[in-house]
Structures are given as structure tokens and as C-alpha cells.
């Protein structure tokens, strides 16, 4: 995950300074204004970033005070910046300066109200919610307390219906205490958005894609329409197999799937239930977790192996400070926010990750995802601060996942993580099933989280309907349902980090579309001629150069320019997903021909 506080001056809620207390008395040109903002923004960057880093790594009352005060100064800076930038809109300026002004006016995920008291309250609210989530744990009736990582392990490994239900419900006891706090955040965020010139926070978020908000929402719907038929086939097959596993009394053949049976705390990816779904039992073992354990991988070797993929493309080695300053192993002596994230500290000179690495395949993939962010930081490091960011936020999320698509059986064998490469239709179906349970299952989840927030921000979902609205959308998009009755005393949306952490989520939906589009383009540049799912760009410096050149653009140009530079296309496109998964799609249609699909 791209840490929202690390988008440099393009999102000045994080790289901020108290120096912009008022306007310069002398008249500035737009270019001079941008240059001054960048310099003043750097002045307190280290202090602000350090405050947030320490807060996530040492969750205490003291670090909450430090982070909230830093956030308060950030919000004040941003509010002043936006107000001043508005004055240059529409005036004559060079192309680069115009781009910089445009990016400043987009603000951040939590635009600051103009009122200093509300700025302070917003900073405190955000700090409190994230801290409560990070310190969350579930204590059962016997007094046994487990943190999220331990609960997730149960969901990954257990096939006991009641045990799964217990930990699923248990984690959702963490979020109700900050439901009212979230409601207050919505009020403050909307006020900040209105003070910045938007109708509400939904419109502000939808305005960050080099197109009008209504055009963006239409584009997102178009992309979902491209891939939904494939998702529907996958859902139908998964439901049938789960019905065989648990009984149709628990998993009805024509309804939504109970949310706790999909191997993940939020039912966002389903690859942990691959053993139930494996098309051809025992063909081409894909048990990477066992291989990592048997070969004695520790947390550091996991990270070094992920780095080696990027350097094989001709991209630079990570600075030694990365390993010195990152949090890679969960501390035993304190609470930390374990949700994986990448951080761009000190204006690109101190990139880090924060991840409580576990020795399993999922975490191995997550490391490649986080290093995708780190390499984006490294490649645009020399740009002016205001252009340090992804072409849009989905680009930043797509890079590491694009690399994951090249972790083919051939690559895994080269790394000694599988014994042999089995080339057969059966082996292909197994590999594709496992990947689809991760990538395709995620798509509607990636879409619906911000659909819920946009409706909350606009008032379409009222505070008294937060939980109902959440489950209505989960059923509509994903075809899943809560396994037990949920009420408005619950706050199930808040059990997902990105809600209390206020991280926009449409970026992930877009990235899961674009990573296949990027993969196809890179494979073409690498000279690959076979089926798309067999391609790995590992070790191909020609593909690496094309990727690095695109990353180096940062957000200096509108995203269609960056897309065209890598793919030759100027639109996001889901057709590469259909190409990639053609064998599995055919298999699913055959399996489902006598089933009643839909819900």
C-alpha cells in the first residue's frame, strides 16, 4: 500500500510546514509561487513524516499527541496552499507550472477545513481512528486475546465453519468504538472539500484522475463491465465447491456466499481456499509457503529476493538505509500498525517499508507489491517535489503487482521455490485458478469500498444506515453476505484498515485492471511470443528500461501520457485480463453449464 502521507508535495497534507502562515506581500508569478511552496514544504517534511512513522511503529498516547500536532500543521499548510493556488487558476503560465497548480488544487484524501479549530480536530480524529485500529485485538470468552495477524492465520488455514465464524465476528468488535468518530470525520472532510471548491469529499476524490468526476465514475463502471462476466463465472464455481465443502444448508446453491468462508478477513482475495478449488489435485504443486519454510527463508531473505527481481530488470539496488530504517519484522514488545505500507521519507532520500513480514506466499507477494512503490519513489526521485507521485494513484499500486505476474512457475523453479515446471493444460488451470482467486475475486471488492464512501460522503448513505449500506453493496458487487445478522450497532466497514486509515481504495481496483495491461505491454517489449500467462520479464533489461522510463515521469504529465509511454494506449483496458485467463474462463463456463449462477 502506498502510504497516503508520503505523496510528497503533490499531496501536501504530509510534507508540510508552518511557514505558509500568510501570503507573501509581494506579488508572485505562478511559477514563483510553485517554487516557494516546494521549498517551504520541504522545511518541516522530516519532522512531520517522522511523527507519523513513529506513531505507526509505537502506538502510545504520547505518539498520538505528536502525530496529531504534526497533522494539524499539515492541514493548515494545505488549506493556505489551496486558497493561494486558486488565485492562479486560469492565468497565463507555462505548461509545467499549470500542471503543478492543478495538482495542488486537487488537495489530499482529507482536505483541510479553513477553520484552524476544525483542522486540529480533523488531525486528532484521523490519528485516533488509525491508532485504535492498529491496537485492535479480539479477546474471547476464555480471556484469550489475539491480534489481527493471528486471526487471519485461522481464516487462512481452518476449515471449521464455527471457528471461522468466531474469529470473523471477533475482529469486528474492534471497529464499533470509532463509528461515531468516523461520522465526525465525514463531516470535517466534507467541510474541507467544500472549502477547497468541491461539493463534498466524494467529488474531491473523483477529481484526481485528469478528467471530470462524472467522467471518471463512468470510466470505472466501464472497466467493471469488462471483467464482471468473468467474475460471475468464478463466483458461481466457488459457491458450488464451498457448498460441497460445508453443505448447501450453509452455502445455498443460488444465493450469496457467507463472507467468513473465503480464506480472508474481508473476503477480498480468495486464494487461501485454493486447496478446495484446485481443478486437478496434485498437478504442479504451487505450495510456495512450504518451500519458503523448508528452505529457511527469514524476513530479510524474503525482502532481498523481492529486490532481486527489480534489479534483474536493470533497476538500481535499494539504498542500504532502506534495510536500516524499514520495519520488516513485527516487534514483540509493542503495538504497531502491521498493515503493509511503503513510505517516501526525506524527499526520496529515505524510502522505507513497514510490514510485519511472515514466511508465507501471500507476504512474499506483498513484498513485491510494496517494493513496486519503493522503485517508483526511486525512479522519480529527481523530479520537482510537486511531481513526485504516481501518474494517478492506481499506477502506484499496479507496479509491484505487475511484477508478481512474472512470478511464473519457471521463475519460481529458478528460485528453488517449486521442484519442477509442469507444462500441461491441467497445470495451467491450477496456476490460473490460484491467481484468479487472488486477482479476479478482488475486483468487485476494490470497486465497492469507495462506492460506499462516495455514498457516505454525498449523504446518499446516512449515518444511521452505515452498516446496511455496506452490506447492500457487498452483496450487489461481490455476491457475499454476512454469516450472522448485523445491525447498526456494528461498523463492519471500519474493520478494514483503509476506512479508519482514510486511504482511497479505487486505486486498487484500477491497479488490478492495469497490471495485466502493463504486463502485456512489457511482455511484448521483452519479445515474448507465447500465451500471455506464460510470460515472465525476469532478467529482461529492455522491459525494465520501458518500465523505469514510465516510472520516472511521476505525475509530471496527465496519466494517459504515462499509459501511452508504456503501452501505446491512452485508456485503461481490461481486455488483457480476458486474454490472460482464457484457459480458466473456458473451464469455468464448462463447469457452470448446469448450475444456476448469480445471486
Backbone angles phi, psi at 389, to 5 degrees: 175, 170
Half-sphere exposure in the Cβ direction for 302 (13 Å, CA): 27
H or E segment and range at residue 137: strand 137-139
- Return the C-alpha cell found at 590: 464448462
DSSP-assigned beta bridge partners for residue 354: 327, 341
Left if phi > 0, otherwise alpha if psi is -120 to 50, otherwise beta: which for 136?
Answer: beta
Burial class (CB in 10 A: 0-12, 13-18, 19+), 69: middle
Contact 394, 511 (CB under 8 A): yes
**Alpha-helix residue ranges (DSSP H) falling in 415-498:** 425-458, 466-478
Q: How many CB atoms lie within 10 A of CB 115?
A: 15
H or E segment and range at residue 494: none
Half-sphere exposure in the Cβ direction for 225 (13 Å, CA): 6
Residue closest to 388 by CA, chosen among 5, 55, 1, 11: 11
Furthest-apart CA pair in the chain: how many Å? Answer: 76
Residue closest to 188 by CA, chosen among 171, 203, 201, 207: 201
Residue closest to 171 by CA, chosen among 149, 198, 187: 149
**In 3-state terms, what secondary structure has residue 490?**
coil
How many residues does this entry show for the chain? 599
Contact 471, 486 (CB under 8 A): yes
H or E segment and range at residue 341: strand 341-345
**Alpha-helix residue ranges (DSSP H) falling in 207-319:** 213-246, 274-277, 288-294, 299-312
Residue closest to 433 by CA, chosen among 263, 235, 278, 257: 278
Residues designated catalytic: 339-340, 369-370, 373, 397, 498, 508
Chain-centroid distance of CA 512 in Å reads 10
**In 3-state terms, what secondary structure has residue 531?**
coil
- Return the C-alpha cell found at 211: 478528467
Strand segments (E) across 348-411: 350-354
Amino acid at each position: 500500500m502506498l502510504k497516503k502521507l508520503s505523496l510528497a508535495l503533490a499531496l501536501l497534507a504530509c510534507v508540510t510546514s508552518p511557514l505558509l502562515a500568510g501570503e507573501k506581500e509581494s506579488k508572485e508569478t505562478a511559477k514563483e509561487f510553485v517554487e516557494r511552496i516546494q521549498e517551504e514544504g520541504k522545511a518541516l517534511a522530516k519532522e512531520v513524516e517522522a511523527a507519523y512513522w513513529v506513531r505507526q511503529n509505537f502506538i502510545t498516547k504520547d505518539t498520538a499527541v505528536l502525530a496529531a500536532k504534526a497533522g494539524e500543521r499539515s492541514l493548515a499548510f494545505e488549506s493556505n496552499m489551496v486558497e493561494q493556488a486558486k488565485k492562479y487558476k486560469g492565468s497565463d503560465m507555462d505548461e509545467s507550472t499549470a500542471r503543478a497548480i492543478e495538482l495542488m488544487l486537487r488537495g489530499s484524501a482529507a482536505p483541510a477545513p479553513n477553520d484552524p479549530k476544525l483542522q486540529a480536530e480533523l488531525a486528532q480524529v484521523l490519528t485516533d481512528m488509525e491508532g485504535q485500529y492498529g491496537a485492535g485485538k479480539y479477546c474471547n470468552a476464555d480471556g484469550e486475546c489475539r491480534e489481527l495477524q493471528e486471526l487471519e492465520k485461522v481464516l487462512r488455514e481452518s476449515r471449521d465453519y464455527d471457528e471461522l465464524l468466531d474469529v470473523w465476528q471477533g475482529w469486528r468488535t474492534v471497529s464499533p468504538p470509532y463509528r461515531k468518530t468516523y461520522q465526525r470525520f465525514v463531516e470535517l472532510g466534507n467541510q474541507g472539500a467544500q472549502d477547497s471548491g468541491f461539493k463534498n469529499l466524494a467529488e474531491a476524490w473523483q477529481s484526481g484522475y485528469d478528467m471530470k468526476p462524472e467522467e471518471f465514475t463512468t470510466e470505472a463502471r466501464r472497466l467493471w463491465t469488462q471483467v464482471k462476466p468473468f467474475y460471475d463465472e468464478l463466483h458461481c464455481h466457488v459457491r458450488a465447491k464451498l457448498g460441497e465443502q460445508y453443505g448447501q444448508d450453509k452455502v445455498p446453491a443460488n444465493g450469496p456466499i457467507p463472507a467468513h468462508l473465503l480464506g480472508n478477513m474481508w473476503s477480498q482475495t480468495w486464494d487461501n481456499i485454493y486447496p478446495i478449488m484446485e481443478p486437478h489435485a496434485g498437478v504442479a504443486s504451487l505450495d510456495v509457503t512450504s518451500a519458503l519454510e523448508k528452505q529457511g527463508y527469514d524476513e530479510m531473505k524474503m525482502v532481498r529476493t523481492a529486490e532481486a527481481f527489480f534489479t534483474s530488470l536493470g533497476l538500481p539496488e535499494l539504498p542500504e538505509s532502506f534495510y536500516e530504517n524499514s520495519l520488516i519484522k513485527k516487534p514483540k514488545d509493542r503495538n504497531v500498525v502491521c498493515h503493509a505500507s511503503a513510505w517516501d521519507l526525506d524527499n526520496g532520500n529515505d524510502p522505507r517499508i513497514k510490514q510485519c513480514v511472515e514466511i508465507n506466499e501471500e507476504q512474499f507477494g506483498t513484498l513485491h507489491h510494496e517494493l513496486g512503490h519503493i522503485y517508483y519513489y526511486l525512479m522519480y526521485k529527481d523530479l520537482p517535489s510537486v511531481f513526485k507521485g504516481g501518474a494517478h494513484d492506481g499506477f502506484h499500486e499496479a507496479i509491484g503487482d505487475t511484477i508478481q505476474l512474472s512470478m511464473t512457475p519457471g521463475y519460481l523453479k529458478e528460485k528453488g521455490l517449486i521442484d519442477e515446471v509442469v507444462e500441461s493444460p491441467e497445470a495451467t488451470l491450477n496456476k490460473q485458478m490460484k491467481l484468479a482467486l487472488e486477482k479476479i475475486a478482488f475486483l468487485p471488492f476494490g470497486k465497492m469500498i469507495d462506492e460506499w464512501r462516495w455514498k457516505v460522503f454525498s449523504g446518499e448513505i446516512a449515518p444511521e444506515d452505515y452498516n446496511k449500506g455496506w452490506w447492500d453493496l457487498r452483496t450487489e458487487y461481490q455476491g457475499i453476505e454476512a454469516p450472522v445478522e448485523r445491525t447498526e450497532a456494528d461498523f463492519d466497514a471500519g474493520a478494514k484498515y483503509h476506512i479508519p486509515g482514510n486511504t482511497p481504495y479505487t486505486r486498487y481496483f484500477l491497479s488490478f485492471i492495469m497490471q495485466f495491461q502493463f504486463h502485456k505491454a512489457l511482455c511484448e517489449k521483452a519479445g515474448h511470443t507465447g500465451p500471455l500467462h506464460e510470460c515472465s520479464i525476469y532478467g529482461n533489461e529492455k522491459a525494465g528500461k520501458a518500465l523505469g522510463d514510465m516510472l520516472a515521469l511521476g505525475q509530471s504529465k496527465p496519466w494517459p501520457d504515462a499509459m501511452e509511454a508504456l503501452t501505446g494506449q491512452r485508456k485503461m483496458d481490461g481486455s488483457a485480463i480476458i486474454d490472460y485467463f482464457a484457459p480458466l474462463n473456458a473451464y469455468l463456463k464448462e463447469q457452470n453449464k448446469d448450475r444456476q449462477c448469480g445471486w
